[in-house]
Amino acid sequence: MAALRKPVIAGNWKMYKTIAEAKELAEAVVRGLDNSFGAATLILIPPFTAIQEVKRTVSGTAIAVGAQDVFWEEKGAFTGEISPLQLKEAGCDFVVIGHSERRQYFGETDETVRKKTLAALCHGLTPIVCFGETLEERESGRTLDRIKAQLELSLFTLEEADFSRVVLAYEPIWAIGTGRNATPEQAEEVQAFTRSLVASRYGKTAADYAIILYGGSVKPNNALSLAREKDVDGFLVGGASLEAESFLAIAREALRAVRD
């Protein structure tokens, strides 16, 4: 992890936690904070129902709050969707877009990711845009081709000023919720490739400052080795973010990688 990029640790709680449980978890994260965490950006991403409660709970701390998805319209007859305007009012700072589970179960495409990213940016939300390959794509040697196609279709249509506000999150689909994470070398290969694509599209300075997270079965015991890679700037954490102790331990390891 390069020292010029502040590490980002985002905890995606997925479809877990009632409002009361979310408040309890957020309180535990707040209790575990100390001054060292100021060198990182910590983000809690609860279900929609708990966003306001979590926002209240972390008020007065440096912890940011995010949402797990967003629609691309401000309002309208879109039953079951949530708009960037509504998320901003609820207290969100960030929003995850294009998570592999959204792609797998709900028909998310690179085009919908593009539209959602634009909508989020228009309303002052920072998009955390996910991309990654399937196991079949990796085993057939098509990983880098797939990454390039995803980025070109979903993000590289943005102007540089807008792109600079996006957080990237590489998540190999075969590592999501499986307990099987990419090796540090596998993660670095894709993330260095991603940074080179950003440099080709937007220039070296934009690439140097681009935040590229890794997501996929991140735990306290593998976070340090991943974070020590040059192009891994933090993590989009799933299951390990459902306990304050493990979430904070991952953040500590990311900060340790910067110090080392």
- Verify whether residue 171 is a known catalytic residue: yes
131: β partners:
170
**Neighbour tally for 187: CB within 10 Å:** 26
Residues in the chain: 260
**Neighbour tally for 60: CB within 10 Å:** 8
Q: Annotated catalytic residue: which of 101, 133, 137, 171?
A: 171
Q: Which two tokens stand for residue 79?
A: 């039953």
What distance in Å separates the CA atoms of residue 222 and residue 72, rounded to the nearest whole number?
Answer: 36
What distance in Å separates the CA atoms of residue 229 and residue 218, rounded to the nearest whole number?
Answer: 14
What distance in Å separates the CA atoms of residue 101 and residue 251, rounded to the nearest whole number?
Answer: 24
Tokens 């408040």 sit on residue: 23
Listed residue (61, 67, 92) closest to 12, CA to CA: 67
Check if the beta carbon of residue 48 is closer than 8 Å to that of residue 68: yes
Residue 131 corresponds to which amino acid?
Answer: F
What distance in Å separates the CA atoms of residue 157 and residue 82, rounded to the nearest whole number?
Answer: 24
Q: Which two tokens stand for residue 124?
A: 């002052």
Pairing of strands 41-45, 212-214: unpaired
- H or E element in which residue 11 lies: strand 8-12
Q: Annotated catalytic residue: which of 53, 99, 133, 188?
A: 99
- Verify whether residue 123 is a known catalytic residue: no
Catalytic residues: 99, 171
